[in-house]
Chain A
């Protein structure tokens, strides 16, 4: 049972445009959500997070939106750059736990 789902395995976007990566979850106990970026042959790198008490968190070109009623979050990258080409994972956890459930990832390709 996959509690965190990223239904788009891949996404291509033109440089300078917006990239929108989506993530859905099923467990209503999740209250902290994270996005990681992964380049080939490297470990995932933390990008941005959001607590369930917020519906938006922004860090530079990256913004994460959370829709609790829909159990949906999205990562917006504006403007997209070729260096953003990577696999993006969303992850979710419940307060006070050490357990993180990851989605299967979306491969983003930013075309120059």
Chain B
């Protein structure tokens, strides 16, 4: 069974479009994250949700909006896509910090904006 899954794995779209990436975890974790890995391979946190509440919101354009319908899901919606949004987006989950900090990552979604 896949612990953290993301769909789609690849996404090619044009500038100005709106797209969503879905993430689901079946580990029973309370916390989920979105990371962006850019062309320089930096893995940077974007958002984190704990029990459906936003707890980390890094300096990310307003065009990016995470949504957590329940604690097993964290979706990422991106409006008005730009060329610079091209990257690999990783979803991750973890237990609460006091129970162990390791995160479990999904396989990534490679977004290409043309």
Question: Which residues of B, 21-35, contact A by the 8 Å Cβ criterion?
Answer: 31, 33, 35
Tell me the number of A-to-B contacts counted with CB atoms below 8 Å. 57
What is the CB-to-nearest-CB distance from B67 to chain A, in angstroms, rounded to a whole number? Answer: 18
Given A34-B101, A95-B97, A97-B97, residue A41 in contact with residue B108 (CB < 8 A): yes
B15 within 8 A of A: no
Total residues of chain A contacting the partner, CB 8 A: 23
Contact between A99 and B48, CB atoms less than 8 A apart: yes
- Which of B94, B101, B105 has a CB less than 8 Å from the CB of A44? B105
Total residues of chain B contacting the partner, CB 8 A: 27
**Residues in A neighbouring B102, C-beta threshold 8 A:** 34, 46, 49
A residues engaging B (CB < 8 A)? 32, 34, 36, 41-46, 49, 87, 89, 93, 95-102, 104-105
B residues engaging A (CB < 8 A)? 4, 31, 33, 35, 40-45, 48, 50, 55-56, 90, 92, 94, 97-98, 101-108
